[in-house]
Structure formats: structure tokens, C-alpha cells
Structure 1
Amino acid sequence: MVNKKVELDQAAKQFLEGLEFINQHPMFAPLAYHAQFVRKEGNLCPEQGWSVVTVNGQIHVHPKKRAESQEWVYILAHCLLHLGFGHFQEKERPDLWNAACDVFVAKFLGDMKLGKPPKDMDAGIDISVKTEDDLYRGFLERGLSGGFYGLGTAGHGCTDMLLKPPKSNYWDRKVNWQECFGKGLAMAVSSAVKVSAGYEAYLGAEKEALTLAQKAKNWFINSYPLIGALAADFKIIEDPILCQRLSISVAAVDAEMKEIYMNPAAGLDEQENRFVMAHEILHVGLRHHARAEGRDPYLWNVACDYVINHWLLEMGLGAFPRVGGLLDPELKGLSAEAIYDRIVTDMRLYRKLATFRGVGLGDIMEPRTPDWWNRKDGISLDEFYRSALSQGLVYHEEQNRGLLPAGLVEEIKALAQPPIPWDVELAKWFDHYFSPIEKIRTYARVSRRQSSTPDIPRPRWIPNAGDEEGRTFGVVLDTSGSMDSKLLAKALGAIASYSISRDVPRVRVLFCDAAVYDQGYMAPEDIVDRVAVKGRGGTIIQPAVDLLESAEDFPTKGPLLIITDGYCDRLTIRREHAFILPKGQYLPFVPRGKVFRI
């Protein structure tokens, strides 16, 4: 006897859970509010059925049937949809009309994937269903096939829509059920938008109060289009234990995983959360993780922090955190690259500064896979970051959401442009050091005489004497075993062509692996020809640099071009220089010079 009571209580619990889900679902809540659910002995539900619905909005549920809560969701939604779709109509064949309506509702719920149909109602509708009237006419012409039996909630041989309830029924309400269903559809669309934006939890999930960080994220999505698109795509992680394990004191961002870590132990209020979250999002949107270009990662992070924090204060976005942050009025208006060049002069001081992650740690998280940025997924993610920030700038300006710092606008617009090819940047490097040689007219060697006037000598244009002196540069080729031969070929071809076009008569060439092989001065035309590359051992470039800097026959202001794959020790270079590297390869030291990536 006790076991039976427990089973009945469990059955009632499952029914009430399903009913609660329906009452909370935005599409069905207006219908359920006006309907009446009857689950007691002697109601109108047939013995073999699950439920029936009356024209006046009563849903009679079998009092003894046991089902899972999701099955009750399906059954109750089926009955409510009969009301919402206006299925209570007088027809010549009520049984076929009810069957057509059951098929239509079953197809609708199947497409929604709402609830779980009981086994005796799970027929699976794989046909194209247009309207109930089309189905009804088809059933009148061809009859009701076996696959369409048993889709109603009243059981086999019974209709689940009662057009004429018993006269003794006291429930008599006049409700515009179609209008209620229309309101439900509008509420469902609005709820779907809020769920996808993270503003509210999806139905059935545990509902918790929004944290201050989540409120800050929702504010960006709803009110600040410049950052809203990027904020919507990032997951906020607020786990104090995980933050402690990762040494995150306030916040950090992972561009690869699209995650922002916010340590709740920092005690930020809502305005401070906005400031810190915008700070982390701008790190990613402005590609600070990819723009390091071989610089020291932490010092580059510090330089970017100074720039972002000044911009956020100018924008009035949130409040500067009380727990700290990097801010220096003397660095206001400078770019991250310019600030970096300043702070590397005193590394010992700046390594003691704290980013939002902590002392000596950058709040731009290191990638979990070293080559993720070079893979296709990294490139596509980079395109998304740049396009989201560029589109956000357009929306921000169109909607007049507030003034933005000129430096921030310039950086966003610059990132929207395609990157300059490496050979174009190399050509600009040549232009900087080797301006065109001024030519003069001279009669010392006359030009070809014209046949019409052979007695008139004409001067020719020649380079001014002495301008070619010192017009050279040094090339250090990394010929170690790890060096790619294709990289050498591309770099040497570009160097030779640019040297010829800019009247560079000779180039000092050195091969270098574990030892230095001085090739002396070579004409650019000879570089294009076959060159017997010596080396293919280890990588030690410093001796080659020292040789050029101490050579008496090399100009004191002659620049250097170093072609390497990046696997070399720290270099000390006291003259202007540049590196040619493979794409994605970074130097393990601060180059302090121009870097071209093939």
C-alpha cells in the first residue's frame, strides 16, 4: 500500500514538472494562463488516453497515467496548440478533421523538438505538411493511412478535441486563443534573442542571479556597439580557484579560446567590470597578441595596457579599477610601438609593474598550441576579430554613441585594411637608405649622334662622380641546417632586384652557421646567379655581425639585412638593421629593428 502511494506521488510530481515547464515557456505561457488543467477521477479523458481538450479551454488529464515530465510537456503542448491554431471547427467528418489537426500539431512539435512524445504517439512525421485543410481534403479523398493513426492524445479510436463539452461543466470562458498564441510567438522570439545574447538563461537551465561581470557583458551587447559584437562572442569565466591557479589577480583574456577570465576575488563593482572587460576585449580586437612582431611579450603587453587605459578614460567607459592598473600621463597619445621603444630602455623597472593579471605577467594569455595563429582557424578568427571591431565602429558612429579617441579610430581603420606585403615594405626600406642618385649632363663621353645632325655633339646623362661611394649594405645569411632554402631564394631574389633598381653597385655577403664564411663584395647580378651556400650546421650569427661592424672596408653607416629562421641567440647590433623571417616565426630576443615576414 505504501509503495503504491509513493508511485502515485511520483506520477503527480512528473506531471507537475511538465506543467511548470509549459507555464514558463514563452510560447505557451499565454495559452496556459487562460486554460484550466483538470487531473482528477471522473474527468473527460478516456481510459486509454492521455488527455483531451475542450472548446472552452479545459484540458482533462488522465489521473492515473504515469509518464516522464518531458512526455507531459509534449501532451499538454499538443492540447494547447489545438486551441492556439483554432482547430475547433465544425466539419463534415470530425474524426478526419481531428486526425488532420493531430498530424499538423505533431509535425510542429517535432520541428520544435519540444518535449518527448509517448511511445504510442511517436509515429514520426516525415512528410511536407502545409495546412490542416490540405491534410483534411487528402484524408477525405484517400482515407486515413495507418501511419497517421494514434497521433492524438485521446488514444486509439477517440478524438482529443471536444467541441461540445457536457452541460454540467461550469467552466465557461470566452478567450481569443489565436491572439494568445500570437503573443506567445512574439514572446518566444524575444526570449530567443535574449538567450542567444546571454542576457537570460535558456528554459530548463538553473536560473542564477547575473553577476556584475555578466551584467557588464550584457551592457556592451545592448548599449555599446563598438565592443558589443566581440563581447557577445566571448565566454566569461568567473572561477576564483581557476584564476588563482592561472595567477590571474584581476582579469586576463585568451584570444585562442575566446574566453575572458574575471576574478571575483578582486571585488570590482559594475563600472569597474565594464572598464576591465573593455580593456581585455580591445586587446583582442586590436590584435595585440599578433602584433608583438618578436618583441618581449610582457613588455609589449605593458605598452598596450598604457594605450588602452588612456583611451578608456577618454571615452568615459566605466571606472578605473581601485585595485590598480597601468597609467602614465607622460605616455598619453603615444602608440604602443612608441611606448615599447621607451620602456625597453629600463627593463628592470618595467618588469616590476603589474598588469590586470599580476606582477610580471601579461593579461594576454599565451596560446595553448604554439602554432595556432598560423593554422587556418587562427586566420579566420583574426578576420572575425577585425571585422567585428570595424563593424562596431560603423554602428557606433552611425548611432552617435559618444566620442572616441582619434588614436583608437585610426588603429581600427588601419586593421580593417589588408596587410602590406613584405616585399613592398622591403622596397620602402631600400628607399630609406638608398635615395636615387642624381645624374648630371657631361660631354666627356658624348651620346650617340643623330643622323639628321651628325655634326652636333649631344651630352649624355651619367651618375654624379662619387655618389656611389659607400652605397652598399651587408647581408648575413643564416645557412644553418634548419634554414628553409625557399626562404633564402625569395629573400636573395628580392634583395638583388631592389639593389639593381636603386643603383647599389656592391653588396657585402656573409654566410653564417656555426662559423662565418665571408664572401666579400658581390655585384647584385651575381647574387641572382647561383651562389654556393656554405654551412648547414648550427646557428651563431653574432660573429658575422661583429665581422661587418669591425671591417675597415665596410662603411660605418652601412645597414645590415639578416635573413634567418629565428632560431638564434640574442644579438648585439650597433647599427641600423632589419630581419627577414618566415611567417609566424618570432625571434627569441628583442630585435630593435625592422622585421619582414615572408
Structure 2
Amino acid sequence: MMSKKSTPENPALKQFQAAVEIIENHPIFSPLCSRTSIVHRDGTPYPINGWATVTKGGYIYTHPKRRGETSEWVYVLAHCLLHLGLGHLITKDHPVAWNAACDLYIAKFLADLKLGTPPSDMETRTDMTVKDEEFLYEQFCVRGVPEVLKYFGTAGVANSDMDVRNTVARSYWGGEPEWEKYFAIGLSNAVTSAVSVAGGHSTSLSDSTNVKSAAQRAKRWFMDRYPLLGALASGFTIIEDQTISQRLSISVAAIDVVEREIYMNPAAGLTDEECIFVMAHELLHAGLQHHERCQGRDPYLWNVACDYVINLWLVEMQVGEYPKIGLLLDSELKGLSAESIYDKMVGDIRLYRKLATLRGNGLGDMIGKGDPSLWDVRNGQTLDDFCKNALQQGLMYHEEQARGLLPSGLVEEIRALGQPPIKWDVELAKWFDAYFSPLEKTRSYARVSRRQSSTPDIPRPQWVHSGSSEDGRTFGVILDTSGSMDKKLLAKALGAIASYAQARDVPFARLVFCDAAPYDAGYVAPETIADRVQVRGRGGTVLQPAIDLISHAEDFPKNGPLLIITDGYCDKLTIRREHAYLLPKGNELPFSPKGPVFRID
């Protein structure tokens, strides 16, 4: 069997690729290079007799058949990137003079920077005084372009290496990139790298560990200057890997709260200010516990509703810069909670399913690939405690340091996180209040009150309850007596029901025990329930016969309120809005209840 011939190695291509890698990791050119497209293949408008040309939109077309050393390609690529970073690609009355002035200025810049080696067919030496491009341009317009400057460009002798007419940009949102801003970021990176080298933390300026991305700088900005989200930001890891972003279908950003990871797609091309906005967006998802508040809602629509709220707050607070990527923003929804917005969206699901989050179309930027069981309370704070404490501490620092006003809705939600959850017995009391209002009292001479000693001959009426108002004043209780029910749970539930029934003047409650079959205990006075009830059954769980028994009983009000005490291990029930459930904390029903669910501690 004949073996396939291996593709011969291309030394010229290898030298070029090595140069591209050097430029990509250089602190000055890294921000520019990440937003440009270096095209090295046939069929492109590369210079026939030169090395490379650059367009206004950020495309660098290199000669695919040109043989050069790695250092020569580094010089050529840096030359083209500097045209972008220094704002050279503009229209002038004398384009030849302007191109020559820019080429001379860049040659001086690279000579001082000592980066790369000029190709043999390019000249870099001159006796002219180089102040800036405009000064040189004015001189060339008056005196003409010196002959020697025809060899300073990367497109060959007397050819322009800048294409101002081609404005097609490789950018996430389209439009004209801000090349000068990216170059300023690179210069800032270079200063940081130089300090790191001087301090002995790294060995060279091109060390990639010295170059902080926009996402890393945004995280540092929150930790240093924005205490509201600084504590949260310090607890999350920033992942900037284009391969991972593609695999997870992340267009711009996403967050995994359980794993404490924020994903930022480096190909999105966000500026520093836009990156601050996006990171604040993701951190607020975590701090406000949107992943926990979903509670059976459609995850994507809930994500969209939360996005609307967060984006309106961030624009109002002026945190960073609103990205030009079509984020969800609607001023008509200002002041509404995420729950309210979700309720509005449910009316037109088809429309809202077409909206895009920071992750992309039809995908939520709150992802949960992590396993909540990894958060062992023995390791310290739980996830919810960490997010709540970090955001509350940040709010305290923000107010103490007078860092500016915050939207009232955001402050209310943060403060609400600090309040302990409502106890189940308090929620149960509200349920009783909804069905059993206080009885009206009337004055009656049928039972005369105690006479006063000062006027013993004057009888006074007594306040009494109206007898007719007690008619139908009752509720049903279905008690799951299967073997899986905890005795302490039964005692807590029955005790609370008895006390609330007595406090609201409910004379009787219809009590039914049920496991595999219902056992009707009839009407029982609240004080009897509180004293002692003989529980019948301890078999399996089939609660529907008990519901049918009460619903069809002639002596029970039609659609009367019903309390079902169970541990959740039951079959699916025919449910009504009036049904309420008492469940052990952490247990779930095998269906979505219409009425309230009280979690017993």
C-alpha cells in the first residue's frame, strides 16, 4: 500500500507566520492586530512589486510569494499597522506627498522603537528633520517629494501603500473602527510592560503575559474604582478564548454563575468602555441572582427580560459605554421589574424569541454548565451568599464614598436581597387573611353586658358576632399520610393551621387523611386539631381521591379553599387556583401548581 505524500514545508510561509505571531503578542500592536485582517493569499489586491498595502477598513494585503525573513515581515506589518494607528488613512489634496510624509514618519518611529529589520529594497535613512506628518506634508507640497522617499513605503517603488477608498471593515458591529484609540491602548500596554520588565516580573516587552486585554482591564477598573461591583468582579474568572466562545455559541459575552466564570469573545472587538458596560451587565446577572429567580419561567425569555432591566440601569448610571451591537434597550420599560417585563413578553412569544442577548440570537447569556453540588457549604460561603454579600457590600461602599446616584429600582432589589425570606407560616397567615376576613360585630341586647356600678339601672348591649356570617366559613385539609411523610412536618403544619384558624374565628375545618385511599375525619374544630389527631394510613401516595371526596361533598362549599400537606411524592393532581400546598423545604411537586406553595423549614 502506497503512503500518501506529505505536503512539503513552506519556509517562506513559516517565516511570515512567525512574524504575525510576534506582532500579535507585541503590547503596542496587539490591540490593532486583533481588529485587523492580515490576508496572505493569491487573488487579493496585494502589491505586485512590493510587500503589503493597508486599507482604511483594516485589511492588510501581503504578497503571498514574497520571500522574506521574519524580522523583515515584522517591520512591514508594523509599518502598515502604524498607518492605521496614527490616523494616516485620510483623504488629502496631494495624496503622493501625504503618503511619503507618513512613510518617513513611520520609518523614524520604527527606527527609534528598534522593531524588525527594514527589507533590502526599502530605504529608512534620511537627513530631513522629522517633526510630524503635517509638517513634512506641507514641505513636500511646496518643494516636491524627494526622490529617495519613493523607497520608504511597503508597496514598492513610487507606489502608495495606503488604500483610502476601501472602507470595508472587519468588525463585529460594522462601521468605521477607532484605530487611533486602539493604538493609544497599545501604547498604554507598552508602558505597563516596560514597568514590568524594569521590576523584574518579565524578561521582555513582547511577553504576552504583560498585555492585559480589555476584559482584564475592565475587571481591574471595577475592583479599583467601582465598589458597587468590585467585590463581585474579584470573585469571577475571565475566560477569553475564541475557540471556547465558538463552541458555546457566544457572540460577545456570557456568564456561568455557578462556576464563577465570565466568557468574553475577543473577536467581538469591544473598546475598553464597551467592555466595562458588558462586564457590568454580566455581574449584575450574578449579583441580582437572576439564575435563581427564573422559578419555572422560560429561561430564554426570562434572560431577555432581565437584560432589558439591566441595560436601562447601566445607561442611566453611565457605566462604561453602550456597545454598538444592538443590545436590548427600550425606554418604555423603564421602572418595570424583570418579572413585569416577562409577563408582558409572554403575550407575544414569537416576537421576543427573535431578540438577541450578548450571547447571540435565541440564546441567553446566563449559562449553567456547572454542577451546583460542587458548592459545598463546608468550603465556605454558598454561591447565593457570595453574590448577595458582594453586591450589598459594594452598595455600602458606593454610598459611603459618594460615587454617584444609582437607579432606585436597582437599590431596592439589592436591599431586598439583604432581607431574610418570608417565613412559611407568615405566608400561610396571608393565605388565611385572603379567605377569612374578620367577622363583623354588632351590638345586641340579647346578651346584656355587665352593668356599671355608677348606673346599675341602665342596661348596655354587648358586642357579638353575627351568626349568619359564620355560614360557609370553613376550609379543607388533605393530609398526606404516606410512609414518606415526616412526623415533625405533620406536627408543624397541623399546629400552624389550628392556630391560624382559631385566630380568624374559623369554627371547623374538613379534615381528610389520604395515602392509597382517603379517610374522611369530617369537620374538626381547630382546638381539636391542635390537641391530638389520630392519623390513619401510612401507605403509598394517591391524593386525587381525597380531592374528589371534598370537592363533591354536599356539606362542603363549592370551590372552597383547600390546604394540601404533602412531601411532593404524589401523583399529578387535578388542581384549582384555591388549592395551596405545604411542602418540606427543598421538595418539589411533580407538576406546576396554580396556587401558592409554602415551604416548611
**TM-score, structure 2 as length reference:** 0.57
- Do 1:372 and 1:378's aligned partners in 2 also have CA atoms closer than 8 Å? no
Which of 391, 403, 414 lines up with 1:389 in the alignment?
Answer: 391
Aligned-partner residue type, residue 304 of structure 1: C
Counterpart residue number, 1:441: 443
Q: CA deviation at 1:236?
A: 0.9
The structural deviation recorded for 1:213 is 1.6
Question: What amino acid does structure 1 have at the position aligned with 2:564?
Answer: I
C-alpha displacement at 1:508, in angstroms?
A: 3.1
2:411 paired residue among 409, 412, 434: 409
- Name which of 209, 212, 216 aligns with 2:211: 209
Change (3 A) 1:443 1:363: same
Which letter maps to 1:501?
A: A
Distance 1:424 1:256, change over 3 A: same
Q: Find the aligned partners of 1:324 and 1:540 in 2 and give their Cα distance.
A: 52
Cα separation, partners in 2 of 1:336 and 1:492, compared to 1, 3 Å: farther
In the alignment, residue 406 of structure 2 is paired with which amino acid?
L
- Indicate if the aligned counterparts of 1:201 and 1:207 stay in contact, CA closer than 8 A: no
Map of 1:399 onto structure 2: 401
Paired with 2:367 and 2:466, the residues of 1 have a C-alpha distance of 56
SS of 2:467's partner is coil
Q: 1:232 to 1:349 in 2, by over 3 A?
A: same
1:281 to 1:570, Cα distance in 2 relative to 1, 3 A: farther
Q: How does 1:3-42 map to 2 (within 5 A)?
A: none
Instruction: Kindly provide the amino acid, as one letter, of the partner of residue 506 in structure 2.
Output: V
CA contact (8 A) 2:551 2:559 kept: no
Of 589, 595, 598, which residue of structure 1 is paired with 2:597? 595
Does 1:527 pair with 2:535?
no
Match of residue 338, structure 1, among 308, 316, 340 = 340
Residue 272 (structure 2) aligns with? 270
Q: Which residue among 224, 228, 231 is the counterpart of 2:230? A: 228
> 1:144-195: per-residue Cα shift (whole Å, max 9, x none)?
xxxxxxxxxxxxxxxxxxxxxxxxxxxxxxxxxxxxxxxxxxxxxxx9xx99
Q: Report the counterpart of residue 179 of structure 2 in structure 1.
A: none
Report Cα offsets for 1:237-256 as digits up to 9, x if no partner.
12333344445444332333
Per-residue deviation, 1:465: 2.5
Distance 1:324 1:551, change over 3 A: farther
- The question of whether the paired residues in 2 share the 8 Å contact of 1:295 and 1:589 is answered with no
Q: Structure 1 regions of 5+ residues with no counterpart?
A: 1-190
CA deviations on 1:32-53 (whole Å, 9 max, x unpaired) are xxxxxxxxxxxxxxxxxxxxxx
The CA deviation at 1:432 is 3.2
How many Å apart are 1:390 and its aligned residue? 1.9
Q: Give the conservation status (yes or no) of the 8 Å contact 1:294–1:586.
A: no
Residue 362 of structure 1: how far off its partner (Å): 4.2
Q: Which residue of 1 aligns with 2:428?
A: 426
| 1:174 match | none
Say if 2:239 is the partner of 1:219: no
Question: Quick check: 1:501 aligned with 2:503?
Answer: yes
Cα distance in 2 for residues equivalent to 1:483 and 1:362? 39
For residues 106-151 of structure 1, the C-alpha deviation after alignment (integer angstroms, 9 at most, x for no partner) is xxxxxxxxxxxxxxxxxxxxxxxxxxxxxxxxxxxxxxxxxxxxxx
2:582 equivalent among 577, 580, 583: 580
1:251-330 alignment runs, 5 A limit: 251-293=253-295, 295=297, 297-330=299-332
Corresponding position of 2:368 = 366
Identify the range of structure 1 (482-491 vs 554-563) with the bigger mean alpha-carbon deviation.
554-563
In structure 1, the residue matched to 2:150 is: none
Q: CA RMSD in A?
A: 3.9
Helix, strand or coil at the partner of 1:436? coil
5+ residue gaps, structure 2, are 1-191
1:471 partnered with 2:473? yes
For the residues of structure 2 that align with 1:332 and 1:283, how far apart are their CA atoms? 18
Q: Cα 1:346–1:540, aligned 2, differ >3 Å: closer, same or farther?
A: farther
Residue 493 (structure 2) aligns with: 491
Contact 1:425 1:596 in 2 (8 A): yes
Change (3 A) 1:390 1:580: same
The structure-2 alpha-carbon separation of the partners of 1:337 and 1:433, relative to structure 1 and needing over 3 Å to count, comes to: farther
- Structure 1 residues 335 and 551, CA gap change in structure 2 (3 angstroms): farther
Structure 2 CA distance, aligned partners of 1:567 and 1:356? Answer: 39
Q: Is the 1:249–1:357 contact (alpha carbons within 8 Å) kept by the matching residues of 2?
A: yes
Q: C-alpha distance in 1, partners of 2:236/2:309?
A: 22
The residue type equivalent to 2:286 in the other structure is: V
Question: Does the CA-based 8 Å contact 2:301-2:353 persist in structure 1?
Answer: yes
2-side partners of 1:278 and 1:379: how far apart? 22
Alpha-carbon displacement from aligned partner over 1:286-329 (angstroms, at most 9, x marks no partner): 12233345555555444333322222232232344555544455
What SS does the aligned partner of 1:401 have? coil
Find the aligned partners of 2:352 and 2:547 in 1 and give their Cα distance: 29
| CA-CA distance at 1:463 after TM superposition | 0.9
Tell me the alpha carbon deviations over residues 329-386 of structure 1, each in whole angstroms, 9 at most, x when there is no partner.
5543222233344445666765665544456654333374455679455854433322
Alpha-carbon distance in 2 for matches of 1:237, 1:570: 44
| Other structure's SS at 1:461 match | strand
Identity of aligned residues (%): 67
> Which whole-Å deviations, capped at 9, do the CAs of 1:196-229 have from their partners, x for residues lacking one?
xxxx997689624222221221222222221112
Is the 1:275–1:319 contact (alpha carbons within 8 Å) kept by the matching residues of 2?
yes
Which residue in 1 is equivalent to 2:72?
none
1:502-526 per-residue CA deviation (whole Å, 9 max, x = no partner) reads 1112223344555555544332223
* 1:478–1:297 distance in 2 versus 1, CA, 3 Å: farther
Residues 221 and 228 of structure 1 are in contact (CA less than 8 Å); yes or no, is this contact kept in structure 2? Answer: yes
1:408: Cα distance to partner?
0.5
The answer to whether the 8 Å contact 2:275/2:320 transfers is yes
Contact 1:513 1:536 in 2 (8 A): yes
Alignment of 1:110-189 (within 5 A): none
Distance 1:354 1:544, change over 3 A: farther
Distance in 1, matches of 2:259 and 2:280, equals: 17
Residues 4-36 of structure 1: CA distance to partner in whole angstroms, max 9, x if unpaired?
xxxxxxxxxxxxxxxxxxxxxxxxxxxxxxxxx
Provide the secondary structure at the position in 2 that maps to 1:260.
strand
Distance 1:544-1:338 versus aligned 2 partners, 3 A rule: farther
- The corresponding residue for 2:68 is none
Deviation at 1:438, TM superposition (A): 1.9
Separation in 2 of the partners of 1:532 and 1:589? 30
Paired residue type of 1:394: M
SS of 2:447 mapped into structure 1:
coil
8 Å CA contact 2:375–2:382 kept in 1: the answer is no
Map 1:12-91; keep pairs closer than 5 Å.
none
